[in-house]
Every structure is written in C-alpha cells, then in structure tokens.
Amino acid sequence: MGRRVILKMTLPEPPPPSLRLRIDRQALISNWQTMDALSGSASAGAAVKADGYGLGIDNVMPALLQAGARQFFVAHWGEVPGVLAHAPAHSIAVLHGVRNAQEAAYARATGVLPVINSAEQARVWLDAGGGACHLMVDSGINRLGIAPAQLGVEEVSRLEIDTLLSHLASADEDSELNARQLARFQEASSMIEARSLSLANSAGIALGPDYHFDLTRPGLALYGGIPRRELADSIRQVAHIEAAVLQTRDLEPGETVGYNAIWQARKPTRVATISLGYADGILRSWGDRGALQHDGRNLPIIGRVSMDMIIVDCTNSPLKEGDFCSLSYDLPKASKTAQLSQYELLTLLGSRFDRTVSTD
C-alpha cells in the first residue's frame, strides 16, 4: 500500500448552502422517549442505519443518547465508525452480520457485535474466534436471518448469543402475519439461549405488549415517521426543509417552464426557481402534486423537477430572490404527495443540505 499524502488545504470554508435541513432535537428526544415508554417493560434501542435515516449520524446520536438510548443498530460495517464516535462498541449491532473473515476480524478488533444471520455466518464468526454476538431468526419476512429449522445446527449451539432478534414484515398493517411471526419467534426463543429477546420495530411497538419482549428497535418513528395510526398523536416531526429562491420571473400566457415544457402558463404567472432538486432527494414524483410554502402561502410546484432546481408558481406571493421557502416534510402527508414511503423520504435527503440541529 502506498503512502497517502494529505495536502493541507488553504481554502476558506464554503459559504452556507442554499438548502437547509433542520433537525428538531427536542422532537427527536421526545420521539425516542415516546417509543421507549410505549415499549412498556422493554427498553427501546435505536436504528441509526443509513446515516441516521438520512439526517446525519453526528446529528442524531447525541440526542438519542441524551434521550436514553443505549443500543444502536446499523446495517453495514462501514457505518460503525460513525456510531463508535458516540457510543461504546458493545452497544452497537451490525444487522448484515459477518459475511467473511475480514468483517469478522473487524468486528473482533472493534468489539462491535455482529448479528449472525445464517449457519454460514455462524461458522465465519466462530472461525474468527467468536465471542458475543446477536442472532437473527427469520420468522416469516424471508429476507435476512437463519431459518427456524436451522436453529439446532451445531454452529449455532456454539454461539455466545446476547440478543435473539427477529423482524416483522407487516407490522404497519393489521395482518395475520404479525401473530404468526410472533408465534414463530416465541418458539425460536424456547430453542435458543439468549440474554435478551427483540422483535419489534417502530410499527411493532404499536402492536402491543406481546410484541415487546426485552428490547425494541424503533427507527422510523424516532425521525418523525408514523407507520401506524396509533402513533399519530405522539410522534413529532423532526426534519424540516428550507431552500432559497434563486430567481423569479414573469411569464406571459403560453410560455412554458422547465425541461420538456410540460407546464404552460394559461394566464400571466410569476414563477420562482428554488434551489432544491432530485439530486437532493426531492424526486420528480413531487412535481405532480407538491407545493412549497412561504409566509403561510402555498406555492405549487410546476413543470419537471430538475437535478438542482424546482420551479414554483408564486403569482400570489411577494416572494423574492434570496428568500427561503419551506417544503413541508410532515412524513405521512409528504408520503402521499410524493408517492414515496416515509423511509424513502428520509433516506433520500442528499449531501448538499446544510444539516443543523436546532438547539433547545
């Protein structure tokens, strides 16, 4: 491996970006405490994968720790350093487990616990020397986790299991699958010796005490998502978006805006170009029905969303260059408007946002 030479840069700090993502710290704290309280005698952990559901790991970890979270879930080993900067290794679990010797060696070197998902992963872990780990049993999502029929294999019996986990496929619906998965998980838990049991994600917590066991794993609801109606009154919006007006112009009837000229003015119209585009995670699906807001007025999105810009109709607004507009990111509503899941709305948010955590 060659030595890497880091050049000392003398560039000044770039000016503040024209798009902002404000993270409401109090709302995040309140949401974790709500999910922890709803977890009854179980304690809530926190899913912080995908850079804290798109909000930035360094932005969400301090608030989650202050709220009381002590168990953190990521998907990839590459996400570990970001969490380790805030929390001890034994409090972090990597959901994808150990796929090979390098991952197992990294787990052992850091002290972070893998979630073992198969007999093969168990073997990889044991071959690397093993140690404390978690075990995911697939109770019916058929995605990731060891099949119940495999729980008796020799490799699994040699694991030092901290938490036995399973994951619900349809907790956000009133599906029969929930009870079936619960029964399979209970059966699995009678076959495995584990220090603790964990089944419920955000929606699963709202299914009631039968689903709570020892540890719950909320993600979405912490960040303002509402996967079940029962949570609607207690979960607060965390992410707030604003973007600057780059330019305004007046259109004559018949003129069109944006790529492919899909929107045409029927009457004299004032339009504004906003610094927000699909590269920031505001996908083209917002174009059909979405709107931005300024000073209490709705500014309908018109024409195609482009990579870096969105055009709005601001005929009825005194909006001017340099002003900031907001894009309502009430997740259940935004999900209907943009035809994207609440999870997608969060994790799509791009790197160009100036992410700030509102101080209390």
Give the start-end residues of each E strand in the chain: 19-24, 43-44, 46-47, 72-74, 92-94, 113-116, 132-136, 160-165, 196-198, 215-216, 239-251, 256-257, 263-264, 269-274, 291-294, 297-302, 310-313, 324-327, 354-358
Query: Does residue 49 have an active-site annotation?
Result: yes
Q: Using the rule CB under 6 A, which residue among 48, 80, 95, 104 binds ligand PLP?
A: 95
Shortest Å, Cβ 75 to ligand PLP: 7
Q: Using the rule CB under 6 A, which residue among 96, 123, 134, 167 binds ligand PLP?
A: 167
Catalytic residue, candidates 8, 49, 336, 343: 49
Strand partners of residue 324: 244
- CB nearer ligand PLP, residue 73 or residue 125: 73
- Tokens matching residue 163: 């938490």
- CB nearer ligand PLP, residue 34 or residue 202: 202
- CB nearer ligand PLP, residue 60 or residue 265: 60
Q: In degrees, to the nearest 5, what angle opens at C-alpha 262 toward C-alphas 256 and 268?
A: 30
217 binds ligand PLP (CB under 6 A): yes
CA distances for 140 relative to 137, 166, 232, 308, angstroms: 9, 9, 27, 41
134 binds ligand PLP (CB under 6 A): no
Query: Does residue 343 have an active-site annotation?
Result: no
Q: Which of 89, 25, 16 is nearest to 56 (CA)?
A: 25
Catalytic residue, candidates 53, 223, 259, 336: 259
- CB nearer ligand PLP, residue 220 or residue 292: 220
Residues 6+ apart with CB under 8 A from 50: 75, 79, 347
Residue 318 three-state SS: coil
Q: Would you say 354 and 55 are in contact if contact means Cβ atoms under 8 Å apart?
A: no
- Considering only residues 265-294, where is the footprint of ligand PLP by CB under 6 A? none
220 binds ligand PLP (CB under 6 A): yes
Strand partners of residue 216: 44
**Residue 198, Cβ neighbours under 10 Å: how many?**
28
Shortest Å, Cβ 266 to ligand PLP: 43
- CB nearer ligand PLP, residue 220 or residue 314: 220
x/- site string to ligand PLP, residues 41 to 80, per CB under 6 A? Answer: ------x-x-------------------------------
137 binds ligand PLP (CB under 6 A): no
Please give the residue ranges that form the binding site for ligand PLP (CB under 6 A): 47, 49, 95, 167, 201-203, 217-220
Q: Looking at the annotation, which residues are catalytic?
A: 49, 259
